[in-house]
Amino acid sequence: MPAESASNTALLAVAREIALAAGALAKERREEGVEVAASKSSAEDVVTFADRETEALIRSLIAEARPNDGFFGEESGAEAGSSGLTWVVDPIDGTVNFLYGIPHYAVSIAVVEGEPDPGTWRALAGVVVNPASGELFTAAAGTGAFLGERAIRVAPAVDLSQGLVGTGFAYLAGIRTEQAAIVGGLIHQVRDIRRMGAASLDLCAVACGRLNAYYERGLNPWDHAAGALIATEAGARVSGLRGAAVSREFILAAEPAMAARLEHVLLGLGA
């Protein structure tokens, strides 16, 4: 194995252990019953005590294992390191599912090199674990993507009319209305639409062929950092629109020919 892949694999091993510990904590808290701690960008955008506690655990385990690396998490913010690497963390992706007891939420942890900006960073390792199902998705740059021990690949391109397409909606009602209008224009052109409620798992669903494509507007870096690497390593094109890098503006992930087909239609709908 080339030296760089070996060091990415070593980072992945650290990320995997931390994600599994965090997933166990989140699952335990879910079983005990979940309480909302506060709301954020809107009344619908909530944070539970478990989100904060899970991120605190992840942050302390990273500080112990990798004291010179930076941290960028949804609930506790950013802190630069001195190594050039940053850990990008969503402690519970799919918080609304978590709150309602829908067993589809994830711990998402990525290690990136460069500025903690998805437009320029290079993702080195990523883990997405769904504690409720026990599924563990992983990737280290240059070494492929895995579901547990099994190597995964995106589904081959199909005609858009046969494509199962995942998406998500923002917490702000005005943006959600605009997103719904685009779904309204798309839904009769595809097999069907899925809104499963955890962006990291949507990206992993593309990676293992459970979705033909996924797109969303308005994601934050921690929502996609790990899942985008897993989808890329599984053969997806993961990008913004019109050749742009992934950003808060847009993310689209699918097998490359499939991505081009969906992008064409989305642009026609004003995405």
Interaction site with ligand IPD (CB under 6 A): 90, 93-95, 168-170, 197-199, 216, 218-219, 223
**Strands of the sheet with 251-254, listed across from one edge:** 192-194, 164-167, 213-216, 251-254, 237-239
218 sits in the region (left: phi over 0; alpha: psi -120 to 50; else beta) called left
Name the residue nearer to Ca ion (CB basis): 93 or 216: 93
Name the residue nearer to Ca ion (CB basis): 69 or 93: 93
Residue 22, both tokens: 């965090």
Rounded Cα–Cα distance for residues 135 and 37 (Å)? 27
Element (H, E) at 253: strand 251-254
Nearest distance from C-beta of residue 41 to Ca ion, angstroms = 12
Nearest distance from C-beta of residue 220 to ligand IPD, angstroms = 6
Rounded Cα–Cα distance for residues 145 and 231 (Å)? 7
The residues pairing with 106 across neighbouring beta strands, listed in sequence order, are 93
- Chain mean position to CA 73: 13
Among Ca ion, ligand IPD, none, what binds residue 215 when CB lies within 5 to 8 Å by partner kind? Answer: none
53 binds Ca ion (CB under 5 A): no
Of the candidates 212, 227, 229, the one whose C-alpha atom is nearest the C-alpha of residue 265 is: 212
90 binds Ca ion (CB under 5 A): yes
Q: Name the residue number minimizing CB distance to ligand IPD.
A: 168
233 binds Ca ion (CB under 5 A): no
Name the residue nearer to Ca ion (CB basis): 198 or 252: 198
93 binds Ca ion (CB under 5 A): yes
Name the residue nearer to ligand IPD (CB basis): 223 or 233: 223
Name the residue nearer to ligand IPD (CB basis): 94 or 221: 94
Residues that bind Ca ion (CB under 5 A): 74, 90, 92-93, 223
